[in-house]
Structure 1
């Protein structure tokens, strides 16, 4: 079974490139079969009078020429060399239903990837190392093709990126890993994006009908929380411990983003507080 859109070729000899050259044996047999089918069909449909028989013969010859040319074109297309890549090609293999933020130049991103040659052979993988690749986009910290490919991606989006040599490692290649003039394929999954200019983002999705008191600096508070990464991965939860987190606000007992995010809250209010690494656990994590 040949998948839709695939070009099936049975080649036992070189493909003819001009009228007069011979087809491979399999192709010759197929052409002969098509000729016989066409002749039989036309003989059934056309009149048998002599002056009409001449027209029928001419029509059969015309059909045979058309069949010959169509097979010639099909086999020539199968043997045509691949068109060289002038720019990156992007195939979006998974797009999340919601995209609250897309990557732009200057953003800092975390992503997983598999790097492969066009034949599928893997030459690099962040999964194998057990850590994401973390880098600024558009700052020439990546090969040019990857810098372009990441722009516009959403968190949890997955892309298959094909990069031509001049936007990858060019004629020099990369050591013993990537030969010169190599086309590279990358399967990329974006996990996180932020910008140095980002501050704390607050989304209040439940507000009580009355608010007698709002949180201020040095207040002592008790609250429940779920802590997740931007891709939805849960890393901490007071609910699983079945006890609230009790602390003072604004005196350095919390990470800076949480200190800012709690200010102004009412008892019973619910918020989603999103903070960049600089206001969370920084480059070292926790």
Structure 2
């Protein structure tokens, strides 16, 4: 059985689901071999499939017509984790699912791989060996180097366009303009007598930026202002495009896909994603003055 040596992933989206694999871990250790034996015995008794990486999965509620989980899309799912005796280890909140951009490697690799095998509406049982899960980290009812069982239901896999459109509808926003690039411009305060700044001017602005799923901002001017030089490609494309549509004295909300933001890389600070890859962003802007 081929096993993976994987470094610690950035823990940002789903607390409690991150891998504790260490690069120096010996994948031929007796613990890992014992995991494989346990998983194979379960497969022999219950059917299912063991992948080349060592992950076991069995679709318990199929939906062959459902959309396949897609890298870069936001997955909405629920899970319950137990040990092989059925004792509770962890679960998603009873009143809320988990949201996770598939492919950003912020949860341990066994869960990431298991999610990628599902279609919308499907439920699966995953048996994840320790080398693809918690490794040497003990959890409640789960000793170190143990196989963990996940029962997972994939509710939805949403593209960035779907996320943006649903966000706008849910927040009852009225889009002033949707540009060819995918930016949604929502003018919230109009100043018909204001002038439109030109390229090369310095704009004094106030702003607040956040991901659509997050209540808190990843950045803002707070009670102060920020001087932005327009048209010099100093900022992400969506931010510059939004500013270019404003007149002095106006306020606007702009929403744009990751292709106009931080793309497939996101923003990392102190080994954590401040902005995840594939993240559509919202900025609330005020153009105070220009010179």
Shorter-chain TM range is 0.3 to 0.5
| Greater fraction strand | 2
- State the TM-score, normalizing by the size of structure 1: 0.40
| Greater fraction helix | 1
- State the TM-score, normalizing by the size of structure 2: 0.39
Q: Which has the higher contact order (CA 8 A, sep 6+)?
A: 2
| Rg (Cα) greater in structure | 1
